[in-house]
Amino acid sequence: MRTYRGACHCGKVVFEIDTELDCAAICNCSICRRRNALMHRVPATHFRLIDGADALTLYQFNTSTARHYFCKTCGIYPFHRPRIAPDAYTVNVNCLDDVDDDQITNLEIIRVDGRSFSTS
């Protein structure tokens, strides 16, 4: 297991995760398709918000279960608490420091059909 540090574009939101970064997900739900993020889920115990809680804004829709966080300054999506696993964090792999294109290319990509999730 390795510790990865991540941040939004302007650097006001900084977080760390402990994980084996071997896979990531792409979802086709309405928000994920539009933000085009590459997502990796970790248990809440493996996520630490280092700085920037006051720089985050929350966006919720539909069932208001998932909590999507964005930086108020630069607008980047660094992480969210997913509807299907609200006790976990899903981070945007593209926000992680020291993750290069070769590492991203070698990730197992999981396609999630979020468009088909029930709205109830």
- Tokens matching residue 69: 């966080």
pLDDT at 33 over 90: no
d(CA 3, CA 120): 36
- Please write the tens of the pLDDT for every residue from 44-73: 999 999 999 999 999 988 887 789 999 999
SS3 37: coil
What pLDDT band is residue 118 in, cutting at 50, 70 and 90?
Answer: low
Residue with tokens 């981070």: 91
Which pLDDT belongs to residue 120? 46
pLDDT on residue 48: 98
Quote the domain boundaries for residue 29: 2-116
CATH code where residue 83 lies? 2.170.150.70
Domain count, the chain: 1
CA distances from residue 97 to 58, 77, 101 in whole angstroms, order as listed:
23, 15, 12
